[in-house]
Amino acid sequence: MAVNQSQSQSLQQNQAKKIPLFPFVSIICFVSIFLLLSSIRNTTSIPSHSHHPSIHFPKTNGLSNPGASPESCDYSDGNWIRDPVGTSPRYDHTCKEIFKGWNCISGNKSNGRDLINWRWKPAHCELPPFDPTAFLHAYRDTAIGFVGDSLNRNMFVSLFCSLKRVSNDVKKWRPAGADRGFTFLRYNLTIAYHRTNLLARYGRWSANANGGALESLGYKEGYRVDVDIPEGTWENALTFHDILIFNTGHWWWAPSKFDPVKSPMLFFERAQPVIPPVSPEAGLDMVKYIENRTRPGTVKFFRTQSPRHFEGGDWDQGGACPRLKPLLPEQVETLFSLNNNGTNVEARLVNQHLFKALERSDFHILDITHLSEFRADAHPSTAGGKKHVDCMHWCLPGITDIWNDLLIKQLNNIKVLF
């Protein structure tokens, strides 16, 4: 959910001393890695799928409107409706790919079984659950890659479990760099998850005894982030996948790892440190975007930020997510409004800059933020006896099933049959 320009300028002025630097810096990574997409091609010997001759994804001339369809429906505008008679599960909670910490039914979360009874109703159109059998037929000979942090794995697992329920002829097979991967043999459809926290390559950095630009400024250690080099887990994904879903964002709010004083992010470009070290304003000045030139026909999505629902403090400050029903609209604004500068402000803040960074690109935006903001009830919380309250990931089955409904709806809308 974006904020208009005048609001953005006002908020940046009023909150300059309150908001962490990391979310703004992340834009550098977004853009620099996307620049990479224009130059990385045919760098691997990974076998490709034989593409289905009746399916063609046209190249877009500009950023697709969030949630847009041929009828110009905004799928992000709507509300959650509970089915009073209950809803049949899309897949069983015994699906083995469900990470234990996300299995809210096996973990005995009190509302774990009720989560599937809620559906998202867009205000001006319909978003029905996708048909997994029809999807397998329509997208045979296709490779789909989820590239990002564990929230993208959340979504990947949801899709896998939905498809496996109707097609058991599955083989584990991971494209180069992928953390998880499966091929549905009857349809030659592969889905894979490539784990990457920042998209860019990063690692520990320590001062050189012989000195250098950063050393002269007093830096002794930190994390080197090469904004023009992709992390190895996904560098070959562009030459293999027909459909790519990217995300990043949450790790930029990880002061336990990227402490701004003890272990700051130190950005490098063309193997040289960015001097002076990047501030939010300088990071925004570096935002440039060019049309990428990946393999013709590749469809690229960038998923918007998945909201957290910590109340009473952050994850390490006693915060929790005890709610058992979706939030009301006024509660959503209280929790997420940029004016409040609260614990969960990161989602809207990142999106505000993400939309700007992706302008005039050929990425499609998968806007899941606002519909997810209502679902404070759908996180694992303490299910399964967790030591830390999880108000960031999502229960499975759960809300990421709806994300895949939206993904597939948008895929079907941009697909041209001939």
d(CA 317, CA 339): 22
Which helix (H) or strand (E) segment is 206 a member of? Answer: strand 200-206
Residue 63 covered by a domain: no
Q: Which residues contact 209 (CB under 8 A, 6 or more apart)?
A: none
Q: What is the mean pLDDT of residues 163-171?
A: 96
The band of 292, judged by pLDDT with boundaries at 50, 70 and 90, is low
- Phi and psi angles of residue 245, each rounded to the nearest 5 degrees, phi first: -120, 110
The band of 10, judged by pLDDT with boundaries at 50, 70 and 90, is very low
Residue 39 covered by a domain: no
For residue 220, pLDDT beyond 60: yes
Residue 293 covered by a domain: yes
Residue 3 covered by a domain: no
3-state secondary structure of 20: coil
Residue 297 covered by a domain: yes
Instruction: Put the strands of the sheet holding 200-206 in their side by side order.
Output: 200-206, 221-230, 265-269, 272-273
Q: Which domain holds residue 248?
A: 78-414
pLDDT tens, position by position, 175-207: 889 999 999 999 999 999 999 988 888 999 999
How high is the pLDDT of residue 263? 87
Residue 24 covered by a domain: no
For residue 96, pLDDT beyond 70: yes
CATH number assigned to the domain comprising residue 326: 3.40.50.1110
For residue 15, pLDDT beyond 90: no
Q: What is the mean pLDDT of the chain?
A: 80
Residue 273 covered by a domain: yes
DSSP labels for 29-93?
A: HHHHHHHHHTT--S---PPPP---TTEE-PPPSSPBPTT--TT---TTSEEEEE-TT----SS-T
For residue 353, pLDDT beyond 90: no
**First CA to last CA distance, the chain:** 35
For residue 345, pLDDT beyond 90: no
d(CA 149, CA 251): 8
How high is the pLDDT of residue 270? 86
pTM, full prediction: 0.83
The band of 49, judged by pLDDT with boundaries at 50, 70 and 90, is low
C-alpha of 407 from chain center: 12
Residue 16 covered by a domain: no
Look at the chain and report how many structural domains it folds into. Answer: 1
